[in-house]
Amino acid sequence: MSDTDTDPDTDAGATGESLRTPIVAVLGHVDHGKTTLLDKIRGSAVSEGEAGAITQHIGATAVPLETVSNMAGSLVDPTDFDLPGLLFIDTPGHHSFSTLRARGGALADIAVLVVDVNDGFQPQTVEAIDILRRTGTPFIVAANKVDTTPGWNAQEGSPIKQTYEAQSDRARSMLDENLYEVIGNLSDEGFSADLYWRVQNFQKNIGVVPLSAITGEGIPDLLAVLMGLSQRYMKEEMAVDISGPGKGTVLEVKEEKGFGATLDVVLYDGTVREGDTVVVGGTNEPIVTEVRALLQPRPNAEIRTEKRFDKVDSVAAAAGVKIAAPDLDEAMAGAPVRVVRGRERDAVVEEVRKELAQIEVDTEEEGVVVKADTLGSLEAMANALKEAEIPILRAEVGDIAPRDVAVASTAGEDVHRVILGFNVDVLDRAERELDETGVKLFRDDVIYQLVEEYDEYVEEQKRAQQ
């Protein structure tokens, strides 16, 4: 008895429905250990020593169920699961998280919010929580750096509950103090949270996993909670028509020698094949083009060797892949990618246009000019400014161009003759115009700092006028 026995007209299973890998993103405040955690998960998976322990994708790492289970030991019994594993997005941080949108929400299915237990909640922790709340993304908290607890007796790679119970009373109570502070912070943000082994319902409560990205203690628990949560609450969302036309999100637009502009894409639905017609969100209009090549990182490729990629014929969700195709110069990071195969091309173009239009920014008659590198970050900027009650005259994706300066220079009041640039460069000609017009420019790659800088400037202006 298999799905292929059933009538294709009456059974969705016959169209190739299968369970895809949940997509996991890691976010949190700078230096709280996001990169170390991802490296440790990848490293531990590889040191499991088996071929295929992990697969390196473009922009992501796939950890198959078998490897998860090897790493998590008794915490993950593979026979309890039918999801294929976990796909970790390699670029940590909430900037990339908010860039990675899909279907109007977040591309990631689950997030790991990393919090340094000694440092507790910091501005970017709160910023990340705001984004998770807004996108309705389920998350768990990795209470990182437990190994720095005074008197901590580390047990490399062990499940944390075991290590935790083996500590001296003094070490445990010091850690507890920090953990309960984090749980209290979560509660201040409106989330009921507890140590993960006390959580019954992960949909209602946030599980906190104490761990160390250095010693690996608690990583088995983190993987087990991620797997359990996806299997229990997200299975329906993971059921996709794997043979259907692919849907994905652009991570990055990159020049590649011999290929021109290429797209690094995370595919969350369907399949993309060489030769497929695809529609991609561009800075002005959706771009329609044809896939020349699909590229995956070559295993063990030397950084300096010419051949860093292998060509593949097709890629199925969930996966990260590089797409080489003509006319991608105007493609945008964060924009949707859709395969047209078997569908009306115009309808797909319309779909892409609609998805792009979902990012709406309320603009006013007077206000500042905002530029950001991706749609997601533009949206995050617009939300932060709204919260801070800073009006926006115009908001666009892209580097700061002379036109932006011209627009800002007509903005009236001094406090509005301002451009706020998030993660963008200034074009040479725009630099000259800035000098000539006296338009103020603030640039940063941290949203709250940009808002703070601007607020300080407004205060200064006010004082100067008194």
**Which spans of this chain sit near ligand GDP (rule: CB under 6 A)?**
28, 30-36, 92, 144-145, 147-148, 212-214
Nearer to ligand GDP, 110 or 356 (CB): 110
Nearer to ligand GDP, 30 or 347 (CB): 30
Nearer to ligand GDP, 60 or 294 (CB): 60
| Alpha carbons 309 and 156: distance in angstroms, whole number | 35
Taking the complex as a whole, the smallest distance from the CB of residue 249 to ligand GDP amounts, in Å, to 22
212 Cβ contact list (under 8 Å, min separation 6): 144, 145, 146, 147, 154, 218
H helical segments located in 358-446: 375-387, 402-409, 428-437
Please report, as a single letter, which amino acid is at residue 129: I
| Alpha carbons 199 and 194: distance in angstroms, whole number | 6
Widest pairwise Cα distance in the chain: 82
Angle, to 10 degrees, between the axis of helix 402-409 and the axis of helix 428-437?
20
Taking the complex as a whole, the smallest distance from the CB of residue 464 to ligand GDP amounts, in Å, to 37
Nearer to ligand GDP, 27 or 238 (CB): 27
Taking the complex as a whole, the smallest distance from the CB of residue 143 to ligand GDP amounts, in Å, to 10
Nearer to ligand GDP, 29 or 57 (CB): 29
| Alpha carbons 277 and 344: distance in angstroms, whole number | 11
Closest CA to 38 of 48, 53, 24, 52: 24
Nearer to ligand GDP, 40 or 371 (CB): 40
Taking the complex as a whole, the smallest distance from the CB of residue 39 to ligand GDP amounts, in Å, to 7
User: 273 and 313 in contact (C-beta within 8 Å)?
Assistant: yes
Closest CA to 400 of 382, 375, 423, 427: 427
- Going from the C-alpha of 245 to that of each of 16, 54, 82, 356, the distances in angstroms are 12, 26, 23, 19
Taking the complex as a whole, the smallest distance from the CB of residue 92 to ligand GDP amounts, in Å, to 5
User: 23 and 107 in contact (C-beta within 8 Å)?
Assistant: yes
Please report, as a single letter, which amino acid is at residue 432: R
Nearer to ligand GDP, 223 or 323 (CB): 223
Taking the complex as a whole, the smallest distance from the CB of residue 216 to ligand GDP amounts, in Å, to 9
- Going from the C-alpha of 313 to that of each of 51, 289, 292, 305, 316, the distances in angstroms are 22, 17, 10, 23, 10
Nearer to ligand GDP, 199 or 213 (CB): 213
Taking the complex as a whole, the smallest distance from the CB of residue 303 to ligand GDP amounts, in Å, to 20
Taking the complex as a whole, the smallest distance from the CB of residue 74 to ligand GDP amounts, in Å, to 23
DSSP secondary structure letter of residue 298:
P
Nearer to ligand GDP, 35 or 437 (CB): 35
If you search the block for the tokens 């990071």, which residue do you land on?
A: 333
Say whether 306 sits in a helix, a strand or coil: coil
Report the length, in residues, of the chain. 466
Taking the complex as a whole, the smallest distance from the CB of residue 17 to ligand GDP amounts, in Å, to 37
